[in-house]
Structure 1
């Protein structure tokens, strides 16, 4: 019986096989003519066409959706099998690449080392920016480097000199960060910069609590002053016992 011209769309179900003796590539194409699994069919395909063979082994991987055209060769006898002799092959859709770093120790090691070096560079850059230009007051030295035997990692070693004042400022920032980590940190992840924190601290330090208490009590009805005084004491401590806010 003559071969039947045919074009099939289907998925490459497994890695193709190359027969070196006759230069034939063999693969299986899973076709789904309907949405029902029972209608799925796996069609054996073969080709000696160099373009098809090259594309099959260099551009395709299992799971890719392929369009194959050629001739459907029918079996010569009842015990034989049909197969598609392919003349052309086109990749319609590439299957997503599977993440395999977990199975590759070398990839794991390289990724971990890259993350470590990036973190060191970021930290060193931040501390260098905080330290500013080194001066005679820079009496504290911070060393940052990879742990273990350095080997070829010497370029990731940093030495930053800072003043005691900057060290206190850095300690305050770390304490503030620890407070955020131990509490409900805002979803935005926003952390105030050091200058803003210093400005807010200075603002509160300049507040005269006695004058503030007097101003609040002056604008409070006499019968409410005991409760207001108690509220101010609860907030700021025992600031002052002002019986006559007008004084």
Structure 2
């Protein structure tokens, strides 16, 4: 079986499990290169026979951690065999937040959050190269949802950007924050001053006596006492010609 030196960066798919022999471990990495579509992602089986490395994978790493592994890719010698990566070194590039227990009941709708992550990833992908200078990426930005679960791995992104692009991004963020800080605080929805003036004039022009008379004229005789008392509670005692509060 041919063994090919190989290095791979990917997210830990599920928690590592002990191998058949003592001091070994088995796990799977999701390879998701920058700018690749979801259907282009690959899941690579990994193993190690180094006890210290196996212990690290079994006790310190959790699903969705971003790992950089090196070793030898073992190609199958039969058509139905399995490819695997025999790992010699593991570097944790990014530790995923501690996983939370899934809430009971209906699942939360994170479609808005996922669309925001995707939009940010696509925007940052444009910073990967500097065509004018030929500068290559040397900074890695990792983004993903908080409180990762197994299904959230698909919404994690790793984008490599250049130093020059990173400076531009930092300047753009500073400018955006300065603009937001210069705006008046948003304390809620307010009315336009002209609207407030118009409403004030409208209510000042109301004739409460005439309004009360119109309401009483529209009320049925048996309901006039209750309506009169309700109007008194609302506007105060408003005398109306021809109406006595004690009338039945």
The TM-score, its normalising length taken from structure 2, stands at 0.39
Structure with greater helix percent: 1
TM-score, length basis structure 1: 0.39
